[in-house]
Structure 1
């Protein structure tokens, strides 16, 4: 009987770990098969575990699909850290990278410039935890003078592989000042849908969101 009860409790323990250790959101839980109602119920009783400033928790990719997280990329901070092969996102910002993401994409000059494979993902207590990740370009990242100022608290760090160029037009209207459009929110799509849009000569607005 004890074995049966333990087996029945295993799914709930797995869900709790996804929330507590990996910071799973409602959408993350739905991606592993929970209904919206069940996902909300779990999140009512379980929260992500607070990490110490120097603590890092590695997150394994969730799910079999090639999901792309598309993010706004600032010309200063974002591009500078991108040159070191990493993207860091404050955990308090609206819209976060889903646990299922296996690629990261970004725009430039009105086009979806490229996607890069995510080779590692971590929850961080703060930028002080980055040495615990063992990322390849650790020395260069830690040498950035504004590192701790930009991420003094919880954040997500993704390490990235070489870019896969896309050049897919966003298809958004020009800004009021005539500037070329850019991604403003975190969006998630399938890599196959992006590649198909490139082949068809479509724009990003034609790509279905997840």
Structure 2
């Protein structure tokens, strides 16, 4: 009996860690096999632990199939790509799920490439970046407006070398007739994205993960 109880308790501890330390959402819990109802129950009784502004928590990979988080990318995000990072404010609608292994965005109505997520952290604010092991932290923290843009909790991902995709979005032109862009965060399997590109398809042909 003790072995069974230990196994059950270990599972409970793992779920608590996913939520408290790594900030798991309902969708994240469902990604690891939990039913929607059960995920909601867990989130009703366990809360994400807040971080002090100078603290960070490294978030490990879930070990699920390669998944691309496609994000809206403005001028600010593109500027920080030169430091091989992407930072997403935790208050924004749509977050990078824990299962994400790659990051992508659109340029001129296309997903030109995606980049692997080599490391990921929850940070209390931009002031916590130097507590991480991100390679470019000296250059990132030298940016004059860093704290202004991320004064509170955020997700920081470090990015590897680009992988060419070249997939049109397939969306209608925007209201001014210009190239469309990804309107919100969505997640797709990398294999499905590559298959659509090989088949001369568009992002609209790719199911969300």
* TM-score tier after normalising by the smaller chain length: over 0.9
Task: Please tell me whether the aligned partners of residues 31 and 63 of structure 1 are also in contact (alpha carbons under 8 angstroms).
Answer: no
Question: Could you report, residue by residue, the CA deviation over 1:22-69 in whole angstroms, capped at 9, with x for unpaired residues?
Answer: 000111101111101100000000111000001100001113300110
RMSD: 1.0
The 5 A counterparts of 1:67-86 are 67-74=67-74, 76-86=75-85
Q: TM-score, normalised by structure 2?
A: 0.97
Structure 2 counterpart SS, 1:108? coil
The 5 A counterparts of 1:113-128 are 113-128=112-127
Structure 2 counterpart SS, 1:5? helix
The 5 A counterparts of 1:38-77 are 38-74=38-74, 76-77=75-76
Q: CA deviation at 1:2?
A: 4.6
Q: What corresponds to 2:177 in structure 1?
A: 178
- Stretches (4+) displaced over 3 A: 1-4
Q: CA deviation at 1:4?
A: 4.0
Q: What corresponds to 2:86 in structure 1?
A: 87
Q: Distance in 2 between matches of 1:143 and 1:114?
A: 27
Q: What corresponds to 1:18 in structure 2?
A: 18
Question: Could you report, residue by residue, the CA deviation over 1:171-202 in whole angstroms, capped at 9, with x for unpaired residues?
Answer: 00001111110011000000010110111000
Q: CA deviation at 1:5?
A: 2.7
Structure 2 counterpart SS, 1:107? coil
Q: Distance in 1 between matches of 2:110 and 2:137?
A: 30
Q: What corresponds to 1:29 in structure 2?
A: 29
Question: Is it true that 1:110 corresponds to 2:83 in the alignment?
Answer: no
Structure 1 counterpart SS, 2:106? strand
Q: How many residues align?
A: 209
Q: Distance in 2 between matches of 1:204 and 1:11?
A: 37
- Stretches of structure 1 lacking an aligned partner (at least 5 in a row): none
Q: TM-score, normalised by structure 1?
A: 0.97
Q: Distance in 2 between matches of 1:106 and 1:165?
A: 12
Q: What corresponds to 1:145 in structure 2?
A: 144
Question: Is it true that 1:134 corresponds to 2:133 in the alignment?
Answer: yes
- Of stretches 135-144 and 152-161 in structure 1, the one that deviates more from structure 2 is 135-144
Q: What corresponds to 2:205 in structure 1?
A: 206
Q: Distance in 2 between matches of 1:63 and 1:40?
A: 23
Q: CA deviation at 1:6?
A: 2.8
Q: CA deviation at 1:92?
A: 0.8
- Stretches of structure 2 lacking an aligned partner (at least 5 in a row): none
Q: Distance in 2 between matches of 1:4 and 1:61?
A: 27
Q: Distance in 1 between matches of 2:48 and 2:120?
A: 16
